[in-house]
Homo-oligomer: A and B are copies of this chain.
Amino acid sequence: MQKFRRGELRAQPGTEILAQDSTAPQMYTAVSGMGIRVRSLADGRRHVIGFVLPGDFIGLQAGVMEAMNYSVEAVTDMRLCVFNRSDLWSLFKARPDRAYDITHLAATEESLLAEALTAVGQLEAIERIAWALSRFHERLRALGLEDNKGRVPLPYRQIDLADALGLSLVHTNKTLARLRRDGLADWSGGWLSILDKVALHRLGHVEDLQARPRPLI
């Protein structure tokens, strides 16, 4: 992939890396720092589609479609690898294996969105938050960001989580406080600890891949 790399971008908190409705000429891979994918409505409401963590690829939509349908914003300082949209087609011709990987990425993204849609559509507030915190911990742990006390860094604001889950800031805050009080999870000061993983997963309907019901017809 190094051959297709075109440079590095640094973004400050609050910066818009890719703009909704724009036809960006570039795609990115997050190297460090965190951001959000966000869709804005004309009346000011916004929905956080997802969270960008190190290693995530962003801008595929801009790469293969006419335009992005959401923005990407930095929440912390970020460093990103830059790729040219115009190189994507030559990559597909030269490296079918890489093309396959990119399709795999897109399918994974779709899978994440389907799960989020289910959570937002069907779960009640405390279940949604349990789901989100479980997923956060899982992803960040997989990135090796867990410290020796089992905490992972989570530098987002409560309003970001609220807008991702379709909840109000106030209710999100109260529900986080309840999870803390009940000893399930504690997200404060930019760090997240899972205190009772089993209970949290059950509450958030997070499926342990091991425990999937295997149909044996």
Q: Which residues from chain A sit less than 8 Å from chain B, CB to CB?
A: 19, 21-22, 37, 39, 41-43, 45-47, 49, 60-61, 63-65, 69-70, 89, 92-93, 96-97, 99-100, 102-104, 106-111, 113-118, 120-122, 163-166, 205, 212-213, 215
In the complex, given contacts A60-B107, A99-B99, what are 17 additional A-B residue pairs having Cβ atoms less than 8 angstroms apart?
A: A39-B114, A39-B115, A39-B117, A46-B122, A47-B118, A60-B103, A60-B110, A63-B107, A64-B103, A65-B107, A65-B108, A92-B97, A93-B96, A99-B100, A113-B117, A116-B117, A122-B166
Main secondary structure of the interface of A (DSSP, over half): helix
A41–B89 CB distance below 8 A: no
| Inter-chain contacts of A60 with B (CB < 8 A) | 103, 107, 110
B165 and A121 contacting across the interface, CB-CB below 8 Å: yes
A69 engages B115 (CB within 8 Å): yes
A102: which B residues are within 8 A, CB to CB?
103
- Whose C-beta in chain B lies nearest to the C-beta of A119? B47
Which residues on B sit within 8 Å (CB–CB) of A93?
A: 96
Instruction: Among B39, B61, B117, point to the contact of A49 (Cβ < 8 A).
Output: B117
- Neighbouring B residues of A107 by C-beta, 8 Å: 60-61, 63-65, 106
A42-B205, A47-B122, A118-B39 as given contacts; A111 in contact with B65, CB under 8 Å: yes
Residues of chain B lying within 8 A (CB to CB) of residue A118: 39, 41, 47, 49
Q: From known contacts A117-B117, A166-B121, infer whether A100 and B92 are also in contact, taking CB-CB under 8 Å.
A: yes
Contact B100 A64 (CB under 8 A): yes
